Amino acid sequence: MEVQGRLNAFGTRRSVPDAKRGAFPAMRAVVQRVKRAEVRVGEEVVGRIGFGVVVLVGVGKNDTEAAGEALAEKIANLRVFDDDQGRMNRSLLEARGEALCVSQFTLYGDCRKGRRPSYDQAAPPDRALLLYESFVESLRKRGIPTATGRFRAMMDVELVNDGPVTLLLDSDRLF
């Protein structure tokens, strides 16, 4: 496996193996712990949860169902909920929380060049829909009550952050 230099957030070089540079598919997610959340299309509420997580999901052009499975497994078992001692020691499953999943192709926006983000790495809509629905089903199979937004619709997402706790995930574990 070849190792190449890459600048980190502080402008210094670090080594990153090719496998960690996108050689494999990597579905992306922003996970926010919430007290409650809902998503609307126009005036219609299309998804609503109480205590749990909002998951903004980005599907890349090289993603697979396996990438979605891995991401769902990670989210279901992330220990980001407080135990009896107030430590983040319980998973979404253990806390009996819910998930609100919203498709978000802009997570693949590349802003490194110019002023307009490039979405070249985002999956085409038909493929993204299939993989997004597969990801949602993977959460449900794990026993997570899961609500969704409406794919390709202009949505208003309203949430009350709990903490706040916000995490960036991808199935390649780049972050």
Tens digit of pLDDT for each residue in 89-141?
999 999 999 999 999 999 999 999 999 999 999 999 999 999 999 999 999 99
Answer yes or no: 81 catalytic.
Answer: no
Q: Is the alpha carbon torsion for 159, 71, 165, 58 positive or negative?
A: negative
Q: How many angstroms separate the Cα of 150 from the Cα of each of 58, 101, 132?
A: 14, 10, 11
User: Does residue 153 lie in a domain region?
Assistant: yes
Residue 175: band (very low, low, confident or very high) from pLDDT cuts 50, 70, 90:
low
Q: Which residue in the list 4, 10, 81, 106 is annotated as catalytic?
A: 106
Q: Which residues of 41-50 are buried (b: 16+ CB within 10 A; e: fewer)?
A: eeeeebbebe
Q: Which residue in the list 4, 12, 81, 105 is annotated as catalytic?
A: 105
User: Does residue 163 lie in a domain region?
Assistant: yes
Quick one: average pLDDT of 149-159? Answer: 97
Answer yes or no: 151 catalytic.
Answer: no
Q: Identity (one letter) of the amino acid at 26?
A: A
Answer yes or no: 104 catalytic.
Answer: yes
User: Does residue 129 lie in a domain region?
Assistant: yes
Predicted local confidence at residue 170, as pLDDT: 84
Contact (Cβ atoms closer than 8 angstroms) between residue 131 and residue 59 = yes
Number of domains into which the chain is organized: 1
Contact (Cβ atoms closer than 8 angstroms) between residue 91 and residue 143 = no
Question: CATH code at 76?
Answer: 3.50.80.10
Q: Which residue in the list 32, 104, 146, 148 is annotated as catalytic?
A: 104
User: Does residue 79 lie in a domain region?
Assistant: yes
User: Does residue 18 lie in a domain region?
Assistant: no
User: Does residue 5 lie in a domain region?
Assistant: no
User: Does residue 175 lie in a domain region?
Assistant: no
User: Does residue 119 lie in a domain region?
Assistant: yes
| Structural domain for 81, as ranges | 25-170
